[in-house]
Structure 1
Amino acid sequence: MPWSAPFEEPIRLRGGRELATLQQAADYIMKLPKTVQRQQRWQVAVENLINAAEVGGGWLMFARIAVMRALNAEDQ
């Protein structure tokens, strides 16, 4: 599955931005500070994004969920 593959539904960020594709989610994570990227929740998100790009199928849904969980953990 290409990195340009869209999520079934975009991930909404604060400020109105959206992450609509695997690539946009990966780019978002890569722009986070390195200390944040190393946190387990973001590592899980990255692993799921890679699996979605390499395997496709249900991994696309898992990747979306993992990114959303990592984002929601920041709010707490």
Structure 2
Amino acid sequence: MTNGWGRPFEEPIEVDGRELVTLRDAGEYIAALPKKEHDAPEWRAAMGALLLVVERGGPTLFARIGIVRALNRHHVVEFNPKGKEPHWGRRKLKRDQ
């Protein structure tokens, strides 16, 4: 098993038509970002997670989560308050017939 920057992710991260396969690939990708984007709090958190995994030998999943969250930081999750109608909502009681 390789240590440090050479450790691979369990699943590569696809971004901009390229794959981030190892921790080094992810670090180089973050380092190549424009300064304004690189300084965003999400990318700082991703780099912090990446460094912890490299230096302390934690699970690569932590670094992957940080990077994917930073990549998707502008995605807004839409909430549908109506949701799915419960199956018991359509049934009528005998007294209401």
Point out the structure with the larger helix share: 1
Instruction: Give the Å deviation of 1:66.
Output: 0.4
Q: Paired residue for 1:36?
A: 37
Instruction: Report matched runs for 1:1-76 at 5 Å.
Output: 1-15=3-17, 17-58=18-59, 60-74=60-74
1:10-60 deviations in Å (ceiling 9; x for gaps): 001132x100111000000111011111100000000001001011133x2
CA distance in 1, matches of 2:47, 2:31: 10
Structure index of larger Rg: 2
TM normalised by structure 2 equals 0.70
CA distance in 2, matches of 1:74, 1:26: 21
The gaps in structure 2 that reach 5 residues or longer are: 77-97
Runs of 4+ in 1 over 3 A off after TM superposition: none
- Higher RCO (C-alpha under 8 Å, 6+ residues apart): 1
CA distance in 1, matches of 2:30, 2:64: 13
TM normalised by structure 1 equals 0.88
Figure out how many residues of one structure are paired with residues of the other and give that number: 74
Task: Give the alignment's Cα RMSD to 1 decimal.
Answer: 1.4
The gaps in structure 1 that reach 5 residues or longer are: none
Identity value in percent: 45
